[in-house]
Structure 1
Amino acid sequence: MTTDRLLPRALPHEVGVDPRGVHDLLDGLARRHITMHSLMLVRHGKVVAEGTWAPHRPEHAPLVYSLSKTFCSAAVGLAVADGAFSYDDRLVDLFADVVDAAGPVASRIRVRDCLAMATGHTRDDVFNPRTSRLAGRQPWRVALATEPEGVPGATFCYNQFATWTLAEVVRHATGRTVHELLVDRVFTPLGITGTSWDTDPARRVLGFSGLHVRPEGIARFFQLLLDDGVAAGERLLPVEWVTRHRQRHVETDSWAEPDWAQGYGWQVWHDTRGGYRGDGAFGQFGVVMPAQDAVLVLTASTERMQEVLDEVWASLLPAFDRAPDAGDGLAERLASLRLPTVWGERGATVGLTFENRTNRWRLVDDADGWQLRWVDQYGGDHQLAVGFGEWRTGTMRWSGRTLRVAASGAWVGWGHWVGHVVALDAPHSLLVRLRDDGSGRTEWVGPKPLGADSLYGLAPVD
């Protein structure tokens, strides 16, 4: 499968980028043992470096976690420009159909406060499993009945409630979800396809997370932000929102990480180099660098996000407008990126069963590795092709839910087989460890999913 190219291409030196800077970035990320999934660098509106680490591919549209927030913010801007509501509207008025009691502080929260993560809350605990399962607009009856501890419009607290609320305000005021609005008004004109947006337990689009989008779709959207909301001479995003979303609306200097302590806009972070970005858990980045007229997209699986940005600033920034290095070999290197497969032995022919208290497995050889049947506690009965020295793709299936994966495996010790299962729709992976005593277990590789351990159907660690 090929992915539509949404942006023109150029060689790095043609737009004033020394390829050595991209090499240095790749070297630095590898030296820090950052597990990367994709990289795309755009300058002057042209893609100059792009790569995905196999088994990830350009056409995959993974979960980008809180990078979704920037997209949700743009949908709010569209709705406001259409006259559906205003930035100064209060939540108690927008939810008047369900709110029957709200204190004086909660009654002051406006749409603009939600955009700036300045709702007055001081803890990220308003969105929780209990309230998220309430039907319709009932969660806001509960949320707005609880007084924030801080000052709306001034107290910053990064919280999911704010963006979740924005998504519901858009839906109720326009009759369309933030995803539907963006597909119609932004994604389709830009050629961005293959997106989806996860919902909460009551089937409301999350807003604060849940967007699945291809790396080039991220790059095309953030290039639109850099271009002031205009593409091919057509205004797609309203001037007021474009101007205000990238302004610093609230201070964030209590955060320890430097690039999270530079202030917050409307669902974007300011950085230490004069630009701004949307980002999501575990290394999903859309970085706007106005001084360089550049956009950088990274997707990854890491909890050390500041280190990723440290490496970008140290390695990549100096490459702009620097004399290029001849014979760079960058295209070949980017084309050969891959995650390491499980190192070990092929082993003898096998047909064995394993189990623990929540999972059962059967491992059988085939010509290219193994077939692993995995029955889990969630009702999943998965038949996975596992490669030896290579990644083989497949799908894990539960009732009403699927997860695309890739797997590699090997015998790593006497009587110890390991399969590495990588989610292609989310920045997560796990190991299946099977031993010759008939036992088995799973363990996360790197960060495990936020929220319930069963997110995307992946079994919890045993």
Structure 2
Amino acid sequence: MKMNIIDEFITKLEKNNICMHSFLFMKDGKTVADGYCSPFRKGQLHRMYSVTKSFVSIAIGMLCDEGKLSLDDKVVDFFKAEFELTDVHPYLANTTIRDLLIMATPYSRSTYGPDTKAWLKSYFIGAEPDHPSGTAFSYDSCGSYVLGALVKRVSGKTFVDYMRPLFDKIGISRDVYCLEGPDGELWSGSGLMASTEDLAKFTQFLLNRGLWNDEQLVSKDYIVQATSSQIYNNTSTHDYSWYCGYGYQIWMLKDEAFCLNGMGGQFGIGLPGKGIVFACNADIQGNVCGKDVIFNALWDIADQIADAPVIGTDTRNLAINPPKGSMTCDLQQDISGVAFEMNQNSMGMKWLKITFDGTMGILQYENRTGEKTLSFGLGKYEACLFPELYSGDRLFDDTKKKMYTSINAAAWITSNTLLIRSYIIDDYIGNLTMTFCFKGDEVGVAMSKNAQFFLDDYQGFAGGRKTNP
């Protein structure tokens, strides 16, 4: 029997080890298929990362519709008094709102880093522009951060609050919010928390060119410009499917499609000629082929979705696949509960112990921040709090520290090597792979993390020996 097209889509993702959290297909404004991989569920808020930029872009368009600003306005004019800007570099002084929207700022690198506290101010003071704005594409989340702050300066509201009337009309959740940067501004380049359904509706709104229930909520001209190529953006030596131009904080794809594109696999894709919207949330950080796999799997079935109804797929029991390997090995009983003292290493790990109990395990260790315990399942994911603190909904805010929600699974990938994989599934998304190779009385540890601004002590190598061999 011929495989259902959504089954085909799911199978392609699984074969390529895509950690999909959720997906949703719409045809002509109606949902035709969706799926949520346990522990993710329908309606759950998810970090959208750079999809946030596309929302801010539409807030700018709304302000243009109200006559409160023009895309040709100079950005510094909105912040000159606030930061007492006097001797402004000409490249920065001439930067327009349009330049920020199309990622053509005068900077070739970020003006803030992990240790910068005044993100907004850093854009205007301290950094040195190196080329005229509007002349070259250079992906710059700092500019998006400025755009979000600009919305607040002009409207008197954060971009989320300013867009709330629009959100209500198109059915976006009242729970949507945005994380904050270290200076208290909304993290308008990365911090939006919304559901997959919210992302799909917003993408449909753009596919409708700003029309919803026969009401033009944002001018058609602005939406058309936002979802059309405004600047050449292929700075690589390859013709990737997502380097087909860049609009107003929105990526162009092949076949005149557009993409709201967030780090790690947060995508809202509109295919105008087919009336199709695809939205998904995932964690493909570190998977160099992940984006192409998802895009190609979508394009492989797009024509079929456009031509026929989607039926016959049961998406109720989807789950994130655990690491491949054995749930037990002969070595397991010899090392269970045995402590290993670690040599000096870049991760600051002092000792570790792994204990097994049926289909469960516990990793205990001590690193720079103290003693830790991490629970994991063998051949299945186990939910627990990852034993590191972070700053909650405001970056670098030490007053709101809490632990990350995580899921963790392990498998014996060889007769003497245990792999533990952790996924952080909180308002920060990340993944960590740890391998422990046992060789006589010794252990070799390798850790690799894919996580922005966190898990820095979980990257590197270490060696150790049994404390009581």
Structure-2 residue corresponding to 1:459: 458
| Correspondence 1:101 to 2:87 | yes
How do 1:249-264 residues align onto structure 2 when only pairs under 5 Å count? 249-255=230-236, 256-264=238-246
Q: Is the 8 A contact 1:21 1:316 kept in 2?
A: yes
Work out whether residues 434 and 448 of structure 2, in 8 Å CA contact, stay in contact via their aligned partners in 1.
Answer: no
Please state if 1:280 is matched with 2:265. no
Q: How many residues align?
A: 430
Checking the alignment, whether the CA contact within 8 Å between 1:100 and 1:141 is kept in structure 2 is no
The percentage of counterpart residues that share the same residue type is 21
The normalised TM-score by structure 2 is 0.79
The code of the aligned residue for 1:352 comes to V
Write the deviation string for residues 265-304 of structure 1: whole angstroms up to 9, x where unpaired.
1111122112211112333211011111110113331332
Report the Cα distance in structure 2 between the residues aligned to 1:221 and 1:196, rounded to whole angstroms. Answer: 15
User: Which of 6, 21, 35 matches 1:51?
Assistant: 35
Alpha-carbon distance, 1:74 to partner? 1.9
What secondary structure sits across from 1:277 in the alignment? strand
CA contact (8 A) 2:61 2:218 kept: yes
Amino acid aligned to 1:459: Y
- 2:352 aligned with 1:351, yes or no? no
Partner Cα separation in structure 1 for residue 446 and residue 402 of structure 2: 20
Q: String of CA shifts for 1:382-438, please: whole Å, max 9, x gaps.
A: 543312222111222516033111111244455543322112235532123345547
Which runs of 5 or more structure 1 residues have no equivalent in the other structure?
1-17
* Amino acid across the alignment from 1:369: M
CA RMSD for the aligned pairs? Answer: 3.3
| 1:290 aligns to 2:272 (yes or no) | yes
SS at match of 1:101: coil
Structure 2 residue aligned with 1:159: 140
**After superposition, where does 1:39-118 map in structure 2 within 5 Å?**
39-97=23-81, 98=83, 99-118=85-104
Does the CA contact (< 8 Å) of 1:190 and 1:231 recur in 2?
Answer: no
Residue matched to 1:4? none
Query: Which residue matches 2:395?
Result: none
| Offset of residue 42 of structure 1 | 0.9
Distance 1:164 1:40 in 2: 28
Query: Given the superposition, is the C-alpha separation of residues 220 and 376 from structure 1 closer, same or farther in structure 2, using an over 3 Å criterion?
Result: farther
Give the equivalent residue in structure 1 for 2:354: 363
TM-score, structure 1 normalization: 0.80
* Amino acid aligned to 2:295: L
Post-superposition Cα deviations, 1:11-35, rounded to whole Å, max 9, x if no partner, equal xxxxxxx974333333333444444
Paired letter, 1:181 = Y
Equivalent residue letter for 2:405? R
What does residue 331 of structure 1 align with?
A: 314
TM-aligned CA distance change 1:430 to 1:104, over 3 Å: closer
- Between structures 1 and 2, the one with greater strand share: 2
User: Given the alignment, which residue of 212, 223, 234 partners 2:204?
Assistant: 223
Q: Does 1:377 align with 2:371?
A: no
Partner of 1:12: none
CA contact (8 A) 1:342 1:420 kept: no
1:444 equivalent among 420, 438, 448: 448
2:389 match: 398
Residue type at the aligned position of 1:124: R
Paired position in structure 1 for 2:376: 386
| 3-state DSSP of counterpart to 1:218 | helix
How far off is 1:171 after superposition? 2.6
2-structure distance, mates of 1:355, 1:241:
62
Tell me how far apart the structure 2 counterparts of residues 352 and 58 of structure 1 sit (CA, whole Å).
42
Between the aligned partners of 1:126 and 1:111, the Cα distance in structure 2 is 17
The alpha carbon displacement at 1:119 in A equals 2.4
Question: 1:284–1:299: 8 Å Cα contact kept in structure 2?
Answer: yes
Distance in 1 (alpha carbons) for counterparts of 2:102 and 2:141: 12
Residues 238-257 of structure 1 mapped to structure 2, 5 A cutoff: 238-239=219-220, 241-255=222-236, 256-257=238-239
**1:108 Cα offset (Å):** 1.4
Counterpart amino acid of residue 406 in structure 2: V
The CA distance in 2 between the partners of 1:231 and 1:355, in whole Å, is 63
Deviation at 1:204, TM superposition (A): 2.8
Structure 2 vs 1, CA of residues 72 and 413 (structure 1 numbering), >3 Å: closer, same or farther?
A: same
Residues 251-276 of structure 1 show CA distances to partners (whole Å, capped at 9, x for unaligned) of 23544334333221111112211221
Amino acid at match of 1:443: M
1:431 partnered with 2:433 = yes
Q: Structure 1 163/364 Cα, relative in aligned 2: closer, same or farther at 3 Å?
A: same
Post-superposition CA distance 1:355-382 (Å, at most 9, x none): 6442354434446512334544345x65
Are the structure 2 counterparts of residues 139 and 254 from structure 1 closer, same or farther at C-alpha, using a change threshold of 3 Å? closer
Q: How big is each residue's C-alpha offset from its partner over 1:169-209, in whole Å with a ceiling of 9 and x where there is no partner? A: 12333343323434564268624254443333333323222
* Partner SS for 1:249: coil
